[in-house]
Amino acid sequence: ELKVEQNPLFLSMQEGKNYTIYCNYSTTSDRLYWYRQDPGKSLESLFVLLSNGAVKQEGRLMASLDTKARLSTLHITAAVHDLSATYFCAVEDGQAGTALIFGKGTTLSVSS
């Protein structure tokens, strides 16, 4: 059974600080996705990483993928309050067809 583990699950940051969220997974997938969810809202796609070494950046967020280590990171640079949300990584589960299997999410709270 594919397992996707994120850490930390909760993260309280000060504005202006940097931090990294980690996503480990147990399959040999080379496709990984990051989503953002605001409280009570839908999931918004942030990044699609499709190969080993892929790196994507959008504003203060940068995601990378190391398929050999089965690890993806989401790096936050100079956090601002608007980044407060829950961030999920998701991996395609070959055994269950093509469904995305999600980690438990990292709830980020940025305060001044």
Partner 1 sequence: DSGVTQTPKHLITATGQRVTLRCSPRSGDLSVYWYQQSLDQGLQFLIQYYNGEERAKGNILERFSAQQFPDLHSELNLSSLELGDSALYFCASSPYNGGGELFFGEGSRLTVL
- Per CB under 8 A, residues contacting partner 1 are 31, 33, 35, 41-45, 48, 88, 92-93, 96-105
Residue number, 65 or 79, with CB nearest to partner 1: 65
Residue number, 47 or 76, with CB nearest to partner 1: 47
| Shortest distance, position 91 Cβ to partner 1, whole Å | 11
- Measured CA to CA, the distance from residue 83 to residue 100 in angstroms comes to 23
Residue number, 4 or 83, with CB nearest to partner 1: 4
| Shortest distance, position 52 Cβ to partner 1, whole Å | 16
| 70 and 5 Cβ atoms separated by less than 8 Å | no
Residue number, 78 or 96, with CB nearest to partner 1: 96
- Please name which of 67, 59, 58, 83 lies closest in space to residue 24, comparing C-alpha atoms: 67
| Shortest distance, position 105 Cβ to partner 1, whole Å | 7
Determine the Cα angle at 93 with ends 90 and 95, to 5°. Answer: 170
| 110 and 84 Cβ atoms separated by less than 8 Å | yes
